[in-house]
A and B are shown apart, each in its own frame.
Chain A
Amino acid sequence: MDDYVITVLSNIGMISFVALSAYLLLLTGVISFGQQAYFGLGAYAAGAATAMLLLPIWAGILIGACVAGLMAALVGALTLRLRGLYFSISTLAFAEMVRLVLLIVEVQVEVDGELVGPAGAEGFHDIRWMFERDISLGEFMLLIYALLALVLVALLLIERSRLGSIFRMLGSDDLLADMQGLNVVGYRVLAAGLAGVLAGIGGALYAHFTTYVEPQFFNVMLGVHALAYGLIGGLGTAFGPLIGVAIDVGFLEAVRFIQGYRMIVFGGLVALLLIFMPRGLLDEERVHRLKARFRRRGDAHAAGS
């Protein structure tokens, strides 16, 4: 594979983390326009850990995920009362605040005679963990997909578990969940924190893949795209957002001949799709039917043998 293909595939992988993050919140019935903030916080925190404190990368990713997760949980606790559009706009406001603060913050330390660290609008340069260890783009891509697979398995397990049912219950009716004796507040904060962790991991990887992050990348377009991916791919399963990312980013690269008209074609297609499938390609109903079909086939096999 040449570097170009690797970069595209890696981008798909890294954006998938944000898409999954937005998807997890969609499950609990809230729409966040602001998951890019945690992607950005994760990127800056992880970059600071490896480039400024010279920690190993696993520590960087861990710190990125924790910083993003804690921040997300805090914001989740603050915005607990909000629903619907109020919640969406509050996440948007927070994300823009993070981006604008990162445009101002300048914290640089000297490492090997060079100044390293966030430099306001200039961004955060020289996160050279990959270069210093001679790690190729391809190897880093494997790391991205290994982590993505891990996260995906974890999400699929959560969906099958009690926690997954609780999240979906919160999504359909808060009051009902409350009546069941569930700690609604706690689970909402937990969902927000987990979503932050997901986005933070993506950001940590992104910072090390590009060696350079700037606040402009974490603008609202990233957040709204992340949200749209879940809705295009479908809200029935964690594979939905991944399909959404693959369709968008893959489409962008594959259909070169409509370059420049990409959004006109893609926008129109998605708008039409949403008319016929308002909850995406793999919505709950379709996922349920697919599962049932697989199960029946499995039973037939068992009976046959």
Chain B
Amino acid sequence: MIDFVQNTVDGIMFGSSYALLAIGFTIVFGVLRRINLAFGASIMLGAYAGTWLHVHYQVNVLVVALTTLVCTVLAGIYVERLCFRAIRRDAALASMVSSFVIWMQLEEAAVHLLPERTYAFPSFFVAGSFELGPFLFRGEQTTMLVLAALMVGALHLLLRHTRFGLALRAVSESPRAAAYMGIDTAWVMLCAFALVSLVGGVAGFAILATDEQITPFFGLWATFKGLIAMMLGGMGSLPGAVLGGLLLGVIEAHAQWYLGNEYKDLSAYLLLFAMLVLRPGGILGQRIHGREALAFRRV
């Protein structure tokens, strides 16, 4: 029982980083109805830029964090210009494939920056490890959880209580109607990309600072975890992304503990596949999915 609770706690802690990645996918999907496969790679390029400074100039961890954020946002804007803005509205597939080749491109650029397989990433603690009854809370993971909670709270305020948030939600509801209302949709989309890149940069930095190392597989890993967490929770839904991320973390933690390391990813994919077959909308996205299905039936 103690193991079970401890695993759940660990899962939630780690899942909070998945949640941030999922938010990146879900906001882009909500606004553009397209998937940005280059998301993980842009975070990776940002983190590599930060690590590069760290390796060559031994800069402070805060400079690394700042560089990671700035470069991730720049990479995100590059992806938006090339793969989304420039491609016709009716060619969603082309956007996806385009973001895929740009993923490969960014990844190769990152590997040119730092050609070896692993590099140390500076660690970043705020909280120390502490015990609460029989349970251990690791400091770096607690920091991550708090950071994720702060980010989600800030995003909620931004989306629900500012004019920009209103514009973003309007574009996500209907780009054309939003344009008629005088909203500069292209600008909103660019801002959405910059915003999710910022969230992704924070998530990437927090994850890497916990791992204390970075490898060229980070881009693929981040893209997959984010996508799975988003699908579990339901596409285009912010609470869904958070819930999906936490759920993914918990499932992985339990599978790893009870079944072994090689079942960790397998259980996550099995859960995802079962979820898609049985309840395609995800946990919280059912309503959206249902509405679309209803509209389809009515036509």
Contacts and interface: CB of A to CB of B under 8 A. Distances in A.
A274 B87 contact: yes
Interface in A117-167: none
B75 interface: no
Contacts of B87: 274-275, 278
A188 B95 CA distance: 25
Interface stretch (A6-14, A202-210, A255-263, A288-296): A255-263
A279 B94 contact: yes
Interface in A89-119: 89-90, 92-94, 96-97, 100-101, 103-104
A240 to B, nearest CB: 13
A89 B227 contact: yes
B269 interface: yes
Interface stretch (A42-50, A57-65, A191-199, A224-232): A224-232
Interface stretch (B96-104, B140-148, B165-173): B96-104
Nearest to B289: A86
Contacts of B104: 263, 266-267
Q: Is the interface of A mostly helix, strand, loop or mixed?
A: helix
Given A86-B280, A264-B105, A231 B93 contact: yes
Given A100-B266, A264-B109, A275-B86, A227 B97 contact: yes
A26 B299 CA distance: 24
Interface string B257-299: 0000011011001101100110010000000000000001001
Contacts of B265: 96, 100
B82 interface: yes
Contacts of A93: 228, 269-270, 272-273, 276
B83 to A, nearest CB: 6
* Size bracket, chain A contacts: 35 or more
A81 B292 CA distance: 12
A71 interface: no
Given A86-B280, A100-B262, A264-B105, A31 B227 contact: no
Given A97-B270, A270-B98, A104 B280 contact: no
Given A78-B277, A96-B265, A267-B101, A261 B94 contact: no
A254 interface: no
Contacts of A274: 83, 87, 91, 94-95, 97-98
B229 to A, nearest CB: 11
A103 B265 CA distance: 12
Nearest to B296: A175
Contacts of A100: 262, 265-266, 269
B93 to A, nearest CB: 6
A228 B227 contact: no
A108 B96 CA distance: 41
Nearest to B105: A267
Contacts of B80: none
Contacts of B228: 89, 93
* Size bracket, chain B contacts: 35 or more
B108 A264 contact: yes
Most A CB atoms within 10 A — which of B29, B95, B265, B277? Answer: B277
Interface string B1-42: 000000000000000000000000000010000010100000
Contacts of A82: 276-277, 280
A186 interface: no
Interface in B108-155: 108-109, 112
B231 interface: yes
A268 interface: yes
Contact of A266 (B83, B101, B220, B262): B101
A279 B276 contact: no
Nearest to B108: A263
B283 to A, nearest CB: 14
Given A31-B96, A81-B280, A279-B91, A267 B269 contact: no
Contact of A224 (B100, B102, B263): B100
B187 to A, nearest CB: 20
A271 interface: yes
B107 A263 contact: yes
Nearest to B277: A78
Contact of A79 (B107, B227, B277): B277
Nearest to A230: B97
Given A89-B231, A260-B108, A264-B109, 19 more contacts: A26-B93, A85-B235, A90-B273, A93-B272, A94-B269, A96-B265, A97-B270, A97-B273, A101-B266, A220-B220, A224-B37, A231-B93, A261-B108, A262-B108, A263-B108, A267-B104, A274-B87, A274-B98, A278-B87
15 contacts: A78-B277, A81-B280, A82-B276, A89-B228, A90-B273, A94-B269, A96-B269, A100-B262, A175-B296, A220-B224, A228-B100, A260-B108, A263-B101, A271-B98, A275-B86
5 nearest CB pairs, A to B = A267-B105, A278-B91, A278-B94, A263-B108, A267-B101
Interface of B: 29, 35, 37, 82-83, 86-88, 91, 93-98, 100-102, 104-105, 107-109, 112, 220, 224, 227-228, 231, 235, 262-263, 265-266, 269-270, 272-273, 276-277, 280, 296, 299
Interface of A: 26, 31, 78-79, 81-82, 85-86, 89-90, 92-94, 96-97, 100-101, 103-104, 175, 220, 224, 227-228, 231-232, 260-264, 266-268, 270-271, 274-275, 278-279
